[in-house]
Amino acid sequence: MRKDDTALVLFSGGQDSALCLVWALKRFARVETIGFDYGQRHNIELEVRKDFLLEIKATLPELTQNLGGDHSVDLSGFGKLAESSLTREREIVFNKTGLPDTFVPGRNLMFFTAAAALGYRRGLMNLVGGMCETDYSGYPDCRENTLAVMQEALNLGMDAHFTIHTPLMHIDKAQSWQMADELGSMALVELIIEHTHTCYLGVRDKRHSWGYGCGTCPACELRAQGFAKWRAMS
Ligand code: ZN
């Protein structure tokens, strides 16, 4: 197996990174996953991500033959440094820069640096993330130009040849439900509904047609609207 046939997926347990994982499984000969504990204010995502990996192996065995190890990385020190409403019990508000204070400064830069350090050691030169420019939030570290320069910085700084892949960069949430259907049919759509988590408030006891969550936070709204739009067009 050539080393450039291997990939490391930044897998958080959310809808987008779950989809990226399946995208990578279809594209690369071997795929590993990495997840970060950065002191999120609820541990739901970290629990859900383990469930999702077990469930996808059980439900879609033919798709997951090339799924290798999962790596869990403690970045809680970074979370303390970069406190925001994702890492503290606070209401989600938009600050004066126009960014919601769910923005954790430098988060994706930190994630890619940590992923590249692991990838360097394990020969995983394709790094895959679910960043998306069409998110409501406009997080600057989700933008394509940020990540292009990040790739260059990693390759210069580690004297390596990483490629950062962001398959969801230009699609909206309706199209990502569509993509799930195309990559893994309704079995994958149902897996994403049941075993991924996006709600900022960590609500897991309210089940909607699109999955679990409070239904009113910005992440739930985006997920629900995307789902409804996809159902209407499919
Ligand atoms: Zn929510």
What pLDDT is stored for residue 3 in this prediction? Answer: 47
The DSSP code sequence of 138-167 is: --GGGSHHHHHHHHHHHHHHHT---EEE-T
Output the CA 212–ligand 1 centroid distance in Å: 8
Q: Cα 127 from chain centroid?
A: 12
Q: Is 54 exposed, middle or buried (CB count within 10 Å of its CB: 0-12, 13-18, 19+)?
A: exposed
Output the CA 6–ligand 1 centroid distance in Å: 34
Output the CA 72–ligand 1 centroid distance in Å: 24
Backbone angles phi, psi at 161, to 5 degrees: -130, 60
What pLDDT is stored for residue 163 in this prediction? Answer: 97
Which of residues 133 and 32 earns the better pLDDT score? Answer: 32
Output the CA 216–ligand 1 centroid distance in Å: 5
Which of residues 103 and 94 earns the better pLDDT score? Answer: 103
In the chain, what are the domains?
Answer: 3-233 (3.40.50.620)
Average pLDDT over residues 57-78: 94
What pLDDT is stored for residue 80 in this prediction? Answer: 80
Of the pLDDT bands very low, low, confident and very high (cuts 50, 70, 90), residue 6 is very high
Interatomic CA distance for residues 188 and 146, integer angstroms: 30
Q: Alpha carbon of 232 to those of 28, 74, 95, 177: distances in Å?
A: 33, 41, 34, 12
What pLDDT is stored for residue 145 in this prediction? Answer: 93
Which of residues 103 and 146 earns the better pLDDT score? Answer: 146
Output the CA 83–ligand 1 centroid distance in Å: 20
Interatomic CA distance for residues 72 and 38, integer angstroms: 11
What pLDDT is stored for residue 229 in this prediction? Answer: 97
Return the percentage of the chain with pLDDT > 70, whole number.
88
What pLDDT is stored for residue 129 in this prediction? Answer: 97
Output the CA 16–ligand 1 centroid distance in Å: 15
Reported as a single tens digit per residue, the pLDDT across 126-157 is: 999 999 987 656 788 889 999 999 999 999 99
* Full-model pTM: 0.90
**Contact yes or no for 70/111 (Cβ under 8 A):** no
Output the CA 213–ligand 1 centroid distance in Å: 5
What pLDDT is stored for residue 45 in this prediction? Answer: 84
Is residue 91 over pLDDT 60? no
**Contact yes or no for 170/185 (Cβ under 8 A):** no
